[in-house]
Structure formats: C-alpha cells, structure tokens
C-alpha cells in the first residue's frame, strides 16, 4: 500500500508574516498576522485555509459527541427564516433590533436566522405524528446572523458566525430533563477535550424562553459576562441571577446616586436610584458606583433597555427636543434599601431628593412618570459569603459565553403546534423541547485568546490546524524531512497516531520558519537542526510545556505519543 503524500506548507495558502506588531497584541491580531482569517466587513470575516482547518476540527470534535454520545442526527436548515413564524412564536418584537430583515419580490417578509427554534419546531410539527418517534435529537452546524450594534473583539462578537445547534424533542418533562443532563455531560467532555477550563453557570433563559438554562463560560478579561462561583461548594451562576448572603443597610445621611439609561426606541429615560455606600452587619462599609448596577434587574422592569449606551444624556436631549422628540416617560427604579418615601417623592416631580437632582431640565413635551422599588439592583462582589453554603466565599470574574443549554418545555411547541398523543391520554399534548448551542466561531476566538502568549498562538492539539510541524535546517534535505514525518505518523508497529503532520518546505531561512511556527501555534515542532547530519537526532519543541529536547529518531514516536496525551 502506497503511503499518502506528506502535507506541505508550500501547498497551503496563508498570508503569514509581513504585518508588523503594533503595541500590545491581542489574540485576534495574532490570528490576522498568522494568516488564519481576514475581516471582510465590520463583524464579518473570511476564514483562510489555516482558520478553516481549525474550524473543521472544532466542528468534527463536536459532531462526534452529538452523534456518538447523544445519538443526534445532523440536519442543515436554511439560513432564511420566515418572519411569520417568529410572529407566531411571539419572539419577533423582542429581538427585532438584532435581526437582518428583508422581503422578496412578492413582499413576503423573511429574515436571516440568528437561531432556528421556530424553523426546527415547524419542521417537526409537520413531520412527527407519534410519540413512538420520540425522543428525537437533531443538530446542525451552520451560519447564523445577528445585527450586533457594536461588533468587537474579532470572532468573539460578530454579525455572521458559525454555530452548532442541538434541538431535542421528548414526550414528557422527565424524559426532557434526562436529555438535558445528558447534553450537559457531553458539553463538559467537549470543552475538556479542547483544554478549556469552562464554568457551567446557571443562567437566565432570557428571550429564548423556558425555565432552566446553563451557560458555559471561559474566564477571560475580554468577557462581557460575569460569573459568580463559590470556593467551597458547587454554586456557579451568571451574575445576573446571583444571590448574595450579605446583609447590607443604608446609613442615615448616605448620599443617593442615579444611574441613567435609555430604551432602544428612545422613548423612556431610566433613572436607577441607589445608595453611594452601605454597611454590612459586621461594620464593613462598601462604596458603590454606576458600574455596580445589575442591568438584568433593571431589564426586569424595563425589558427594552439599551444597555450598551454610553452617553445617555445626549440621546435623551435628542429624544426630548421639540423637532425630533420621541420621549414619552421617565422610569424611576429604586433600590429597596433606600427610604420608603423616595418613590412617591420621585413621582411628585420634586426637583431634589436629599440634595440630589431627580430630573434633567424639563423637555419640550410633557412626560409621564412611573416608579418601581426592587431588590438586587447592585452586583454581588468577590469576597461575599456564598448564599448556598455556610463556609464558602464568592469569586466574581469576567467570562465569555461559549455555549448555552436551555430546557424550553413547550415554549415553541405549543404556539407552533408540535403535538403528539401520549398514552393513556387521548388528547395531543405539546412536545417537550430543549435547545443547546455552542458558538464555533466564538470557540476559535476564545481558545486563541485563552492560550496565546506574547510569542504567538498556542492551539490545543485537538483543534490545531496541524498537530505537528517538521522543519528542516540546512543540514537536512527534503528526503530526510519526509522520513521524519513518516516516523511521526506511524509507530514502529505501524499503528497510526492521531496526528496530522505537516512539513514546512517553504523557501525561507530556518530562524524565520521557527518564528512563524511559534506565531501559528503548532502544538509540537520537530526541528532537523545541527545534530541531524552527525547523530540523526532531532529537536522537539513544545512551548506550552516549556520543553526543548534532543531526541534520537527511533525514540521520536514514543515522545510524540507522550506529548499528544498531554496537549
């Protein structure tokens, strides 16, 4: 049997090198400089051959778990979805600002799908008629579209992205919850294979619906979420739903502050009133500022809050101008620990509360005023006591969401009429659903960010563009390098290693190739250097393990196998 030809970098197009490093370089900039991708438009990217290889490996790893562990069948749904379906599910209005909408020549309204709950439920409703066809597990890996207001951090927050969706359909709540737990177990294995220390945090279901969900977060300073975890028990939650065991009280005379926001349609000004300082029962004083506001608690009162606005007062001035005015209401949200008369005082349009101005200059049109008192307006802090156990303390850290599991119940199956009759009942009941996503594009960006160092990218071996690169110096010819590639690929017993080896045969000096290999982030680098001609020894480098070791050729497969298990 003729062995397959050796993979060669000279046959792969990737514009590596030639871009100067400017200042502090993040992982996204390294992906650009190493030739993995290029930005086409804001939040939209072209994946180049190296980037596509990483994407293919992430997809293959996840698909393996979907099919082998969860017995899911792969589908490919259209990227075009019907706005009428989204209206039937009741979700169109809530997420309208993030949708790419369009109409065909017959004025039928469509959208580019940011997710596929409506379409998959409609498909199952038309197809599945008997409870005997359940459980049903369908997954896809496809492009999604979201009109992000501020795309940023490269692949971490884009407008077009690759995502894996798994949709599950069960005949009972108990069966659906069992499926949910099986998916969570698979997710833990997937992220473990990618060497990611992911936190599975209980979370809010938000616009997706349902009453049980978990987010899978990778701690990183670039993260837009904040995850709260206990150092003693298994308490891990998204900060948005975190409870605090700390009892705080407002001292008399404490100044009152206001954080201001505005709704997406610019019709409501939102004033969030909170104390500048509070004291715990043990006498410790805590100071608070606008960045301590829990925006989920605010959104529970004002769901259409635009949480990304930085200059609220400028937008409100435009909204209240006589010629462009859209303003209709001022909403006051008061921390429940503030004095009880405060909400009434605010509704009376008093100009000050305890010396603090309550309103902006009067607009050109009259506005209504409403006030609400609520708990949880201020964030949990690192060092707070755990609300679940008596001995633990909480840690709050920034993180980026890589995946999300939802138990949807009948949130979509009921309005879209996905029904089956389950004996002994004679009436059809809605199917119990779950949806479970992993952001493929985001995983690539997050892994790059998490493992990169000042030298370059540093891929885990399971998703690296190539597991190992062989680089020959001037004392080795092409035949020598091909021989080493073959020795790595096959052990002496002819047992194939799960490695894809590539030979860097580009017409470049050895130092340049070594620098480029570090930038690209090959997990294992094998160099045929000065000792090759004299002693048939190669140098094996692994930056993540801080290893650089000379190895006899016959010992190379054994060492590679050991490194493969660690990386």
Segment 108-119, tens digit of pLDDT: 999 999 999 999
Please give the average per-residue pLDDT across 315-332, as a whole number. Answer: 83
Instruction: Give the tens place of pLDDT for each residue, 386-443.
Output: 888 878 888 999 999 999 999 999 999 999 999 999 888 888 999 999 999 999 999 9
Give the 3-state secondary structure of 216-248.
EEEECCCCCEEEEEECCCCCEEEHHHCCCCCCE
Q: Which CATH superfamily is domain 55-242+396-449 in?
A: Bira Bifunctional Protein; Domain 2 (3.30.930.10)
* Sequence-ordered list of residues with C-beta below 8 angstroms from that of 473, at least 6 positions apart, any chain: 510, 527, 528, 529, 530, 532
Give the least confident one: 204-213, 253-262, 316-325, 478-487.
204-213
Q: How far apart are CA 524 and CA 461, in angstroms?
A: 9
Q: Which of 93, 69, 138, 75 is nearest to 434 (CA)?
A: 138
pTM above the 0.95 mark? no
Residue 493 has pLDDT above 60, yes or no: no
pLDDT of 354: 44
Give the least confident one: 130-144, 244-258, 510-524.
244-258
Q: Do domains 7-17+456-566 and 55-242+396-449 have the same CATH topology?
A: no
Please give the average per-residue pLDDT across 211-215, as a whole number. Answer: 88
Residue 299 has pLDDT above 90, yes or no: no
Please give the average per-residue pLDDT across 531-541, as a whole number. Answer: 91
Exposed e or buried b per residue across 513-530, where buried means at least 16 C-beta atoms within 10 angstroms of its C-beta: bbebbbbbbbbbbbbbbe
- The secondary element (H helix, E strand) that includes residue 249 is strand 248-249
- 492 — pLDDT class (breaks 50, 70, 90): very low
Q: Does residue 210 or residue 321 have the better pLDDT?
A: 321
Give the least confident one: 282-286, 300-304, 479-483.
282-286
506 neighbors 9 (Cβ within 8 angstroms): yes
CATH 3.40.720.10 matches 7-17+456-566: no
Q: How far apart are CA 310 and CA 313, in angstroms?
A: 9
Please give the average per-residue pLDDT across 40-50, as a whole number. Answer: 95
Instruction: Give the tens place of pLDDT for each residue, 458-475.
Output: 999 999 999 999 999 988
Give the 3-state secondary structure of 113-177.
CCCCHHHHHHHHHHHCCCHHHCCEEEEEEEEEECCCCCCECHHHECCEEEEEEEEEEECCHHHHH
Give the least confident one: 216-225, 232-241, 337-346, 520-529.
337-346
Residue 531 has pLDDT above 70, yes or no: yes
Give the least confident one: 223-232, 437-446, 449-458.
223-232
On average, the pLDDT of the chain sits at 87
- 360 — pLDDT class (breaks 50, 70, 90): low
pLDDT of 14: 84
Q: Does residue 525 or residue 239 have the better pLDDT?
A: 525
Exposed e or buried b per residue across 302-314, where buried means at least 16 C-beta atoms within 10 angstroms of its C-beta: beebbeebeebee
Domain boundaries, the chain: 7-17+456-566, 55-242+396-449, 248-373
pLDDT of 351: 47
352 forms beta bridges with 357
Residue 79 has pLDDT above 60, yes or no: yes
């Amino acid at each position: 049997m003729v062995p397959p030809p050796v993979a060669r970098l000279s046959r792969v197009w990737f514009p590596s090198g030639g871009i100067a490093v400017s200042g502090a370089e993040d992982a996204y900039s390294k992906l650009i400089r190493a030739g993995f991708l290029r930005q086409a438009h804001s939040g939209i990217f072209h994946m180049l051959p190296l980037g596509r290889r990483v994407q293919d490996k992430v997809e293959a790893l996840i698909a393996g778990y979907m099919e082998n562990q969860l017995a899911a069948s792969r589908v490919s749904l259209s990227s075009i979805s019907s706005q009428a379906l989204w209206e039937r599910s009741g979700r169109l209005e809530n997420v309208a600002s993030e949708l790419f909408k369009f109409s065909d020549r017959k004025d039928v309204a469509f959208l580019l799908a940011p997710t596929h709950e409506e379409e998959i439920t409609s498909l199952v409703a038309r197809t599945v008629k008997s409870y005997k066809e359940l459980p049903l597990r369908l997954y896809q890996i496809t492009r999604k579209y979201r009109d992000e207001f501020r795309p940023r951090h490269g692949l971490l927050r884009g407008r077009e992205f690759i995502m894996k969706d798994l949709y599950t359909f069960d005949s009972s709540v108990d069966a659906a919850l069992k499926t949910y737990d099986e998916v969570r177990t698979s997710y833990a294995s997937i992220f473990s294979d990618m060497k990611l220390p992911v936190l599975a945090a209980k979370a809010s279901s938000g616009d997706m619906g349902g009453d049980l969900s978990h987010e899978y977060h990778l701690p990183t300073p670039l993260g837009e979420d904040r995850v709260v975890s206990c150092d003693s028990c298994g308490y891990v939650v998204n900060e948005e739903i975190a409870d605090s065991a700390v009892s705080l009280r407002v001292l008399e005379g404490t100044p009152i502050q206001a954080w201001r926001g505005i709704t997406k349609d610019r019709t409501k000004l939102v004033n969030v009133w909170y104390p500048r300082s509070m004291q715990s029962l043990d006498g410790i004083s805590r100071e608070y500022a606008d960045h301590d506001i829990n925006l989920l608690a605010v959104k529970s009162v004002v769901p259409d809050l635009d949480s990304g606005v930085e200059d609220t007062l400028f937008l409100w001035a435009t909204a209240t101008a006589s010629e462009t005015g859209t303003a209709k209401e001022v909403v006051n949200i008061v921390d429940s620990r503030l004095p009880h008369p405060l909400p009434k005082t605010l509704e009376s349009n008093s100009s000050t509360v305890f010396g603090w101005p309550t309103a902006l200059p009067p607009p050109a049109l009259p506005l209504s005023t409403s006030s609400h008192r609520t708990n949880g307006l201020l964030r949990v802090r690192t060092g707070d006591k755990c609300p679940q156990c008596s001995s633990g303390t909480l840690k709050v850290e920034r993180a980026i969401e890589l995946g999300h599991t939802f138990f949807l119940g009948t949130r979509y199956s009921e309005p879209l009429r996905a029904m089956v009759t389950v004996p002994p009942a004679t009436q059809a009941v809605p199917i119990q659903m779950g949806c479970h996503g992993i952001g493929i594009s985001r995983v690539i960006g997050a892994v790059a960010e998490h493992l990169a160092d000042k030298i370059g990218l540093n891929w885990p071996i399971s998703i690296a563009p190539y597991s190992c690169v062989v680089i020959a110096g001037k004392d080795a010819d092409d035949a020598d390098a091909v021989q080493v590639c073959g020795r790595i690929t096959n052990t002496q017993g002819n047992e194939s290693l799960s490695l894809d080896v590539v030979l860097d045969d580009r017409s470049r000096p050895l130092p340049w190739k070594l620098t480029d290999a570090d930038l690209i982030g090959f997990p294992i680098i094998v160099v045929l250097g000065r000792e090759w001609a004299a002693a048939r020894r190669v140098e094996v480098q692994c930056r993540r393990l801080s290893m650089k070791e000379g190895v006899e050729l016959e010992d190379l497969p054994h060492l590679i196998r050991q490194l493969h298990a660690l990386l």
